Amino acid sequence: MAGGGVAMAHAAEPQVRIETSYGVIEARLHLSVAPISVCNFLRYVAGGYYDGGQFFRTVRHDVFAGNAVPIDVIQMEARDGEETNVYGPIMLERTSETHLTHRAGALSMARWGPDTATSSFSIVVHNSPEMDYGGRRNPDGQGFAVFGQVDRGMDVVRKIYHAEAYEEKLKMPVKISAIRLKMKDKDQPALRAACPALF
């Protein structure tokens, strides 16, 4: 029975719809290879903590001289701020273990030290390998956890990325009205097996 649950979990990729004041972004989540990050993210989705949040930061490698290690991302925060921590920090799922990379469209958990990610996440705009395990973006070299991939709405991502900013801070943050899970009925057992805290 347990073996069947694992097999189903490896087949499922839940999808989410991110509704912003600039348009809609749709992404799939890598449940089978990054279950800790995905389940944590979905707990915040289910709790409504992202509703009323915002994209507040754009990191552009060619704009701010303080970015010694080039990456290109936009970052969001939950409605109660970047440090929103309802469920506690989660273990870092390193890209050396998941074999996911910070390519354009990747969803990635923001963090300070290892095992400190909570609610904030980034969307990669241009390939940013310095965010992978062994990269220099974080001095500890452990990289960031990729847990999803944008399927539709990269035009919205790029619009946010190019919005007017002072250094990395958007002058007018882009509001998130809602993030909603889109799940097929046949994939419900896999989600239940991987993320029992959601049910």
**pLDDT tens for the 199 residues of the chain, in order:** 333 344 433 457 999 999 999 999 999 999 999 999 999 999 999 999 999 999 999 999 876 556 678 899 999 999 988 788 999 999 999 999 999 999 999 999 999 999 999 999 999 999 999 999 999 999 999 999 999 999 999 999 999 999 999 989 999 999 999 999 998 888 889 899 999 998 8
Question: Mind giving me the DSSP string for 130-190?
Answer: GGSTT-SSSTTS----EEEEEEE-HHHHHHHHTS-EETTEEEEEEEEEEEEEE--GGGHHH
User: What pLDDT, on the 0 to 100 scale, is given for residue 7?
Assistant: 41
Name the class of domain 2-198: mainly beta
For the chain, give every domain's residue range. 2-198
Residue 186, token pair as written in the block: 């046949």
User: What is residue 10's three-state secondary structure?
Assistant: helix
